DNA sequence: CATGAATGAGCGTTCATTCAT
DNA sequence: GATGAATGAACGCTCATTCAT
């Protein structure tokens, strides 16, 4: 991860990758991403050694962005349920307002180009959310389940919820709440 | 009068595809699948016009197999919860005992080579399960949610559960039950 | 050239080849020709050992048919010019009324699948016409040119004439006469 | 700033295509053409998007070269016959001295990969010759024939003449004159 | 002999990556 | 560093021909 000259160009590539992956999938040519970024195809490889490197970096960036969006404005004093709902709403809002990022992240998440290391790092960025979740379920029926299981379920319910919010934006808020309630029933 | 198209060869190809997709993903060369099936690469195209056709056929076959496995031995007289749990357990068992099929199906499900028609047909094979689910949530908190939302959540919780059962086979049964209980709490 | 059982099937293949070549060119799959003939693809090869063999046989057949059509009803007693014009008209009529055969023949003529032997044999079938041509030019300006040269020119002018007759059928007769007159001026 | 697209390499490919097509026909693999040009197979597609594109470009180049060769040194003040003969001789000389180009052009001319647009453009390059031909026949017996018909006949007689010049180079000049005389008789 | 499945070499094209400018 | 041409392995699919039935 050498520090290349132009941070600007690097982010142009990353942003282009989001758009291109969202619309064409992970099979999209690097040349297309470079073009979308307004950069020569060869230049992409000065910023990311391989296509897989770009994907891993993008994965991490999106994870981090999502995590940070989720925690924004967290009411520190509120009870767990309120805090959790705040985080949940933030996540849903981020997904709905950045559908391309969400789609790209979804694709990356199931790709086998993403290394275990990246996945681990990705989970770390979500540590704040996980901690909340940890406490939320502390006295509930899933108190003894592996944490990873709980996280997976939350993600899964979250994904389903996002899909419905995007498909039916008029009722986005309702879907968001319904999803959260279902999750809360499952774990708390 | 001529060498008939051999059902045996067809299934060899399908079975090979399962193995190859499980280990190499959907990007695996058709030639690899053919070789794994012990067939000339050209022969694959006698049975499936296109790589995508093979994928769609495989998707449907796996969906059907999973559905049929899920419903096997359904206790017709039991209450919904028991019936649902039966189906759930069957699904989990199928996934755990056919991990390659499960991985292949997971990949196919997110692929954009699978046509809407195939997806629709795939959902039809799960109609029996869906009907059960329908009645199970009839009086619960999700009684007014779109059915598709409920299905998605069930699948998501199921997927998460399977992963944990496979990762930690010693406690497979426990995970299966925990997953089901979480689902039941969410919807009934 | 073993004698296969069904002469009928053989000609079905040949006839199919004419149609298919006319519409798809020489690159058309043998399977397409077989299908058009209502025969299994493998059967084609009991009648013609290779695709090239089929082409050569077809070439000869079309050449022969054209030659025979050209000489039909030749007025034995008339002068050369009249005889030549008769032959010329017959050729043009054949081409115009069998456009597929003509197109197929044109393609075969320039193909390098046609062996020199076939070409020689093809020319032989045109011997009657050539003899006429021979005498026609006997006292004209091309009396010393190689016969093959004269034949080539005749074919060339003939081809051009056919094209115009087909393109503009209303004036077919006029074009036919104009072509013949041009040829006659050139050689007699 | 980057390695510029090398005109040299482009012409190497075009020249290689001439040779390969002359000896193996239009069915020759692009890989063979690339190899003959001393280029990686992929590079061919940097210069020509498609095999058909290469063919069309080559067709145009050969047409243009032939046209330009035909008109070289045209005696502006001479009468039509002399001018026509000059053009005719130039054409024949070009064909005889570039037999591969001539063969390649002949194959391309009958190929259905050549688009109508290319054909139209090809004819434009021959406009100078056509104009001459137009005036040459103005008072002759073909004065009312469609121009396209006249052109076709000229090409046909020309092709036949070339063949004989190449087959019998000792008498090339004689054949050239004989061909021209035949043409002139036909049209003027 | 008829059939059509089986075979596998072969082809046009793509694309991640390298490298000359 | 930036550029984009160069590279060549790889892929999906075709099709003439063979051969089991």
Give the Cα separation of B113 and D4 in Å (integer). Answer: 39
Q: What is the pLDDT of residue A45?
A: 97
Computed on alpha carbons and rounded to an integer, the radius of gyration of chain C in Å comes to: 18
Nucleotides of E under 7 A from a protein CB: 1-21
Chain A environment of B175 (Cβ under 8 Å): 149
Interchain CB contact of B28 with A (< 8 Å)? no
Min Cα–Cα distance to chain D from C106, Å: 10
- Neighbours of D, requiring at least 3 CB pairs below 8 Å, are C
Judged by a CB distance cut-off of 8 A, whether residue D147 touches chain C is: no
With a 7 Å cutoff on the CB, does A35 touch strand F?
Answer: no
Find the nucleotide nearest C47 (Cα to C1′): E1
Kindly report the bases of strand F lying within 7 A of a protein C-beta atom.
Answer: 1-21
pLDDT band at B1 (very low <50, low <70, confident <90, very high): low
> How far is Cα C90 from Cα A49, in angstroms, rounded to an integer?
73
CB contact, 8 Å: D40 with chain C? no
Distance in Å from F20's C1' to B59's CA comes to 32
CB–CB contacts below 8 A, C to D: 72
Query: Distance from D152 to chain C by nearest Cα, in Å?
Result: 6
Number of other residues whose CB lies within 10 A of the CB of residue A16? 19
pLDDT tens readout for residues C149-158: 898 889 889 9
Is it the case that chain C and chain A have 3 or more CB pairs lying under 8 Å apart?
Answer: no
**Of C6, C177, C185, the residue nearest C93 (C-alpha):** C177
Cβ-Cβ contacts under 8 Å, D141 against chain C = 181-182, 185
Please tell me which of the candidates C112, C142, C182 has its beta carbon nearest to residue D187.
Answer: C182
In three-state form (DSSP H/G/I as H, E/B as E, the rest C), the secondary structure along chain A is: CCCCCCHHHHHHHHHHHHHHHHHHCCCCCHHHHHHHHCCCHHHHHHHCCCHHHHHHHHHHHHHHHHHHHHHCCCCCCCCHHHHHHHHHHHHHHHHHHCHHHHHHHHHHHHCCCCCHHHHHHHHHHCHHHHHHHHHHCCCCCCCCCCHHHHHHHHHHHHHHHHHHHHHCHHHHHHHHHHHHHHHHHHHC
pLDDT digits (tens, 9 = 90+) for B126-185: 998 999 999 989 999 999 988 988 998 899 899 999 999 998 999 999 999 999 999 999
D117 sits in which H/E element: helix D116-125
Mutant choice from B182, B183, B184, B187 vs A, greatest count of A C-beta within 10 A: B182
Which nt has its C1' nearest the CA of B46?
A: E5
Please indicate if any CB of chain C lies within 8 Å of the CB of D113: no
pLDDT in tens, A94-116: 999 999 999 999 999 999 999 99
Closest CA to D69 of D30, D38, D42, D102: D102
Do residue D182 and residue C181 have CB atoms under 8 angstroms apart? no
The secondary structure of residue B107, as a DSSP letter, is H
Q: What pLDDT is stored for residue A4 in this prediction?
A: 53
pLDDT value of position C2: 46
- Is C110 an 8 Å CB contact of chain D? yes
- In angstroms, the separation between the Cα of residue A38 and the nearest Cα of chain B is 27
Domain residue spans of chain A: 1-49, 56-187
Task: Flag whether residue A113 sits within 8 Å of chain B, measured between CB atoms.
Answer: no
Q: Tell me what pLDDT residue B102 has.
A: 96
Q: What is the structure's pLDDT at B123?
A: 93
C5 pLDDT higher than 80: no
pLDDT score, position A1: 43
pLDDT in tens, B73-130: 999 898 889 999 999 999 999 999 999 999 999 999 999 999 999 999 999 999 989 9
C-beta atoms surrounding A36 within 10 Å: 19
Identify the CA nearest to D64 among candidates D93, D36, D92, D101: D101
Question: Could you check: is the Cβ of residue C41 within 7 Å of any atom of nucleic acid strand E?
Answer: yes
Which among D25, D141, D142 has CB closest to C112? D25
Asked whether residue B110, judged by its CB, lies under 7 Å from any atom of the DNA or RNA strand F, the reply is no
Answer whether D183 touches C (CB < 8 Å). yes
List CB contacts of A49: < 8 A, sequence separation 6 or more.
none
Does the pTM surpass 0.95? The reply is no
A185 and B141 in contact by Cβ < 8 A? yes
Distance of CA B155 to the CA centre of its chain: 10
Q: Which nucleotide is nearest to D5 (CA to C1')?
A: F5
Tell me: pLDDT of C146 over 50. Answer: yes
Q: Report residue A177 CA to chain centroid gap.
A: 19
How many Å lie between the alpha carbon of D4 and the closest alpha carbon of chain C?
Answer: 38
In degrees, rounded to 5, the angle at the alpha carbon of residue D61 between the alpha carbons of residues D55 and D67 is: 135
Asked whether strand E has any atom less than 7 Å from the CB of A29, the reply is yes
Q: How confident is the model at residue A2 (pLDDT cuts 50, 70, 90)?
A: very low
Instruction: State how far the Cα of A90 lies from the Cα of A84, in Å rounded to an integer.
Output: 10
Q: Give the tens place of pLDDT for each residue, D50-98.
A: 999 999 999 999 999 999 999 999 998 888 899 999 999 999 999 999 9
Q: Is B64 on the interface with A (CB under 8 A)?
A: no
- What CATH number does domain C56-187 carry, 1.10.357.10, 3.40.640.10, 3.90.1150.10, 3.90.45.10? 1.10.357.10
- Cβ neighbours of D183 in C, within 8 Å: 186
Q: What are phi and psi of B14, to 5 degrees?
A: -60, -45
The answer to whether residue D1 scores a pLDDT higher than 70 is: no
CATH superfamily of B1-49: Homeodomain-like (1.10.10.60)
């Amino acid at each position: 991860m050498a520090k290349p000259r132009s941070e600007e160009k690097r982010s142009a590539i990353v942003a282009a990758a989001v758009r291109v992956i969202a619309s064409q999938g992970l099979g999209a040519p690097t040349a297309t991403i470079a073009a979308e970024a307004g950069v020569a195809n060869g230049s992409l490889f000065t910023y990311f050694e391989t296509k897989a490197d770009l994907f891993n970096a993008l994965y991490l960036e999106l994870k981090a962005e999502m995590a940070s969006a989720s925690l924004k404005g967290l009411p520190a004093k509120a009870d767990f349920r309120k805090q959790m709902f705040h985080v949940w709403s933030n996540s849903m809002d981020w997904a709905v307002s950045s559908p391309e990022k969400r789609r790209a992240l979804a694709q990356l998440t199931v790709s086998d180009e993403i290394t275990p290391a990246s996945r681990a790092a990705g989970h770390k960025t979500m540590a704040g959310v996980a901690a909340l979740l940890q406490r939320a379920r502390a006295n509930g029926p899933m108190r003894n389940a592996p944490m990873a299981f709980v996280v997976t379920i939350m993600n899964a319910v979250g994904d389903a919820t996002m899909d419905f919010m995007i498909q039916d934006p008029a009722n986005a808020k309702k879907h968001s709440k319904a999803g959260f309630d279902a999750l809360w029933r499952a774990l708390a």
